Amino acid sequence: MADPQDSYPRQRARTRGFRLGAPRALTPSPDGERVAFLRSRGGTDPLTCLWVLDVTSGTERCVVDPSDLLQDEETLPPEERARRERMREVTGGVTDFSVDQDVRVAVFALSGVPYAVRLDDPAATVTALDAPGPVIDPRPDPTGTKAAFVSDRALYVAPLAGGRAAVLCRPESDTVTWGLADFIGAEELDRVRGYWWLGDGSGLLVERFDDSPVATWWIADPAHPDQAPAEHRYPAAGTDNADVSLWLVRIDDEGEVVHEEIDWDHAALPYLATVSTSPGGDPIVSLLSRDQRRQVVLSIDSETGASTVVRERTDPDWIDVLPGVPARGSSGALVEIVADRSADTNRLVVDDVAITPPGLQVEAVLDAGADDILVIAGRDPVRSSVCRISPDGAVVELLTGGSVGARRSGALLCTAATSLDSTATDTAVWREGERIATVSSYAEIPIISPRVTMLSVGERDLRTAVLFPSDHVPGSRRLPVIMSPYGGPHARMAVETGLMYGTAQWLADQGYCVVVSDGRGTPGRGPAWDRTVRGDLATPALEDQVAALAGVAAAYPDDVDTSRVGIRGWSFGGFLAALGVLRRPDVFHAAVAGAPVTDWRLYDTGYTERYLGLPQDDPDAYDTSSLIPLAPLLTRPLLIIHGLADDNVVVANTLQFSSALLAAGRPHAVLPLSGVTHMTPQEAVAENLLRAEVDFFASALGR
């Protein structure tokens, strides 16, 4: 029977997962007078606007409305489309902006045109900057007098007061790019930037990468055979990466552009992991070996480009790249987050001294101030806190939630926090511990209110969320189960955030017990837990889903039917779902696998080799962690869903797996999504995928 007009799947699709209308990217000014932020005008409006909150009056002012500037539909340069894919950006309009050090000027791109606007003048108008063509990633210098941007793989600088743009770095061939992040930097190291202004605005550090060593793959849209496939340089596991270098770029007294390459052993340290610049000292750069077991931190002389090694670390498994580190504190100290194996804790380290206590897992550094360091940390992976860490290691928790974020400048602190009993995010501005403003959210409230029970189950205390139908009476009936994990590195799903469980509650309301559990390899529980998956991405993750199911069944013996269990997931979760019905058909009776990696040789170097090494060196690790050799084992219903335009988990994963299943005579279903990437922001796709899954499970589990 069809759902009503205002069904949850339709609402979730049209609100892009309830992100439209929600404030984000809050940026406070150091003088404490204003906060710049992004937000669309409504819960179904996909065009993001730039706003300013006047802290004194508490009023919000729309500074840039894209509809005032766009004459036609938004058009994006290919590099901007790629950037949004890497960042999982599902909105349009002003999706990003940058400011000077005083937060008085903002620079952004809209439909490939760079613009600047004053934030401290309500009468200011938006000004287009000179550019040679469509641009990406415009950023003002710290003094707010000029902006750099990338156009056609070249880096330019233009004065904000008007005047011609000048080229700083021009590509020498059609495989060279200046000023953007290479694929691995953006996709796997969470580094979406490719150039950085020096703290005083006197020059820039600029990434140059050459994709010529990287194999060319082709992303086609079979639904449109008249269109040529898109060329995509993809560094699959065991193959060559892009050649990446870093350059100091300055304009000398005679107006000449001077380029100085930063020297390091590129063969030994091919990955440019992080770059940090600040007004108070020379830049800090971190590099990684290909196996990511060695990290070298360099200090770069802002005048000459000379590099000095200030720290070197090794790890028998891998070095984590975490937000905000390594960096210089305001005192000049080197601030890091280090995996302390003896304490099984990711600890805040300042000048090689661990200052946070064992058991407090530090996840990110937000600001290294003169009197304290602001971090995100937690003792339980279901919740995190924004904490102030004093030089003597004292910890003060400022706020706690299922997920938290913060940004500090001067006396202002902007925070965002979620809780289990709400589907909204609380976004606030603080001064000296006092809440002085709330930033309004226009996001829609889900028509579903999740009813979530958090458990720790099994001998490994697996953090697990359990949801039953809204009208379920305990003990009245035994329900089929849908496991809904991600289950892999980098992401937690079982957290105290109400908005996380809207889809799970809707699935539960169709007549299921839905279980969301985080097993070994997921973050937040320390280095030993994270690194259990080294050499085997499959076995620990699957064992923990089996254990979570057993734990839930023991907790609710009269409410769950373990003879009817489905498993669903996307990306790593899709891999895990298919793995479940292949290896453990005694436990999992049907699976929906969305965008699964089926052979890790088809996934990228930065992610795959971190966990499995090189396929040339350890082919058994790849075979153990892959689905294709298991194809003959399929005896349960399996639905595979994949976007044909996916350039992250390419559709070859599904096609090769399907071919192996067919060759083994194993029936299965494949749902191809034409024109869809690794994300599914299209409303019709997002809405009807959920319905297709429910129909599949209803048939497969005999509900």
**Angle of helix 502-509 versus helix 683-700 axis, rounded to 10:** 40
Whole-Å CA distances, 193 to 190, 251, 690, 701: 9, 21, 34, 46
How would you classify the pairing of strands 373-380 and 353-354? unpaired
The span from the CA of 653 to the CA of 680, in Å, is 18
Residue 156 near residue 69, CB atoms below 8 Å: no
How would you classify the pairing of strands 383-389 and 395-401? antiparallel
Helix (H) or strand (E) holding 54: strand 47-54
Angle 521-644-79 (CA atoms, 0-180°, nearest 5)?
Answer: 80
Helix (H) or strand (E) holding 197: strand 195-197
The span from the CA of 109 to the CA of 408, in Å, is 25
Whole-Å CA distances, 210 to 78, 291, 665: 17, 21, 44
Beta bridge partners of residue 248, listed in sequence order: 205, 260
Tokens of 364: 């990110």
Angle 70-73-76 (CA atoms, 0-180°, nearest 5)?
Answer: 90
Q: Give me the pLDDT at residue 681, please.
A: 63
Q: Which residue matches tokens 């953006």? A: 186
Residue 286 near residue 311, CB atoms below 8 Å: no
Grouping H, G, I as helix, E, B as strand and the rest as coil, residue 98 is strand
Q: Give me the pLDDT at residue 594, please.
A: 97
Q: What is the pLDDT of residues 546-590, one digit of tens each?
A: 999 999 999 999 999 999 999 999 999 999 999 999 999 999 999
**Who's near 573: CB < 8 A, 6+ residues apart?**
484, 485, 486, 487, 488, 594
What class is the 452-700 domain? alpha beta
Whether pTM > 0.85 for this model: the answer is: yes
The span from the CA of 278 to the CA of 101, in Å, is 10
Residue 456 near residue 543, CB atoms below 8 Å: no
The span from the CA of 206 to the CA of 685, in Å, is 39
The span from the CA of 696 to the CA of 130, in Å, is 54
Residues of the chain with CATH 3.40.50.1820: 452-700
DSSP letter assigned to residue 236? B
Residue 92 near residue 75, CB atoms below 8 Å: no
Q: Check if CATH label 3.60.15.10 holds for domain 22-165+410-416+428-444.
A: no
The span from the CA of 214 to the CA of 232, in Å, is 9
Residues of the chain under the 70 pLDDT cut? 1-6, 253, 681-682, 703
Residue 658 near residue 640, CB atoms below 8 Å: yes
Neighbours of 191 (CB within 10 A): 20
Residues of the chain with CATH 2.140.10.30: 22-165+410-416+428-444
Helix (H) or strand (E) holding 660: helix 652-663
**Who's near 29: CB < 8 A, 6+ residues apart?**
35, 36, 102, 103, 104, 119, 120, 409, 410, 412
The closest of 116, 146, 114, 117 to 133, measured between CA atoms, is: 114
Q: Which residue matches tokens 């891999």? A: 575
Q: What is the pLDDT of residues 308-321, one digit of tens each?
A: 999 999 999 999 99
Residue 323 near residue 365, CB atoms below 8 Å: yes
The span from the CA of 373 to the CA of 643, in Å, is 42
- Helix, strand, coil percent values for the chain (each to nearest 5): 20, 35, 45
Round to the nearest angstrom and report the end-to-end CA distance of the chain. 14
